[in-house]
Amino acid sequence: LVALALTLCLISLIGMPPAAGFMAKFYIFNAAVQNHLLWLVIVAVINSVISAYYYLRVVKVMWLGEAASEEKVPSSGVLRLGLVLSCLGVLVLGIIPGYVMKLAEVAAKMFAF
């Protein structure tokens, strides 16, 4: 369960769909393009490719590498529940981000710029 959660979070950090990181990067890249900051998008994409290499290496070692120990790490039900809820949050925010974006827009309008 922990390996699956870490894999999902690393996929989100890379910015791959359907994780929340994809939508976050999409909104950031879109805003940069709209503000004519193409150089920033290029730098961010290069950074994403480099980080993907490192993150995917961790995933590869975690799933395909040999275990350092066959001993299972004990975890409580509450810890597993928190892990599952966090993973669901990463997926839900990636698949249907509209509701959270509307809340963020309402919160942003409260500030006077």
Q: What is the pLDDT of residue 69?
A: 81
Distance CA 23, CA 93 (A): 8
The residue ranges of DSSP E strands in 4-82, in sequence order, are none
Tokens 């791959």 belong to 16
| Cα gap 17→23, rounded to integer Å | 8
The number of angstroms, rounded, from the C-alpha of 75 to the middle of its chain's C-alpha atoms is 24
Mean pLDDT of the chain: 92
pLDDT at 113 over 80: no
Q: Which token pair is 42? A: 């290029």
Contact 29, 41 (CB under 8 A): yes
67-96, pLDDT tens digit by residue? 888 888 788 899 999 999 999 999 999 999
Give the pLDDT of residue 10: 96
Does the predicted model carry a pTM greater than 0.85?
no
Residue range 49-65, pLDDT digits in tens: 999 999 999 999 999 98
Instruction: For residue 18, say if its preceding peptide bond is cis, omega within 30 degrees of 0.
Output: yes
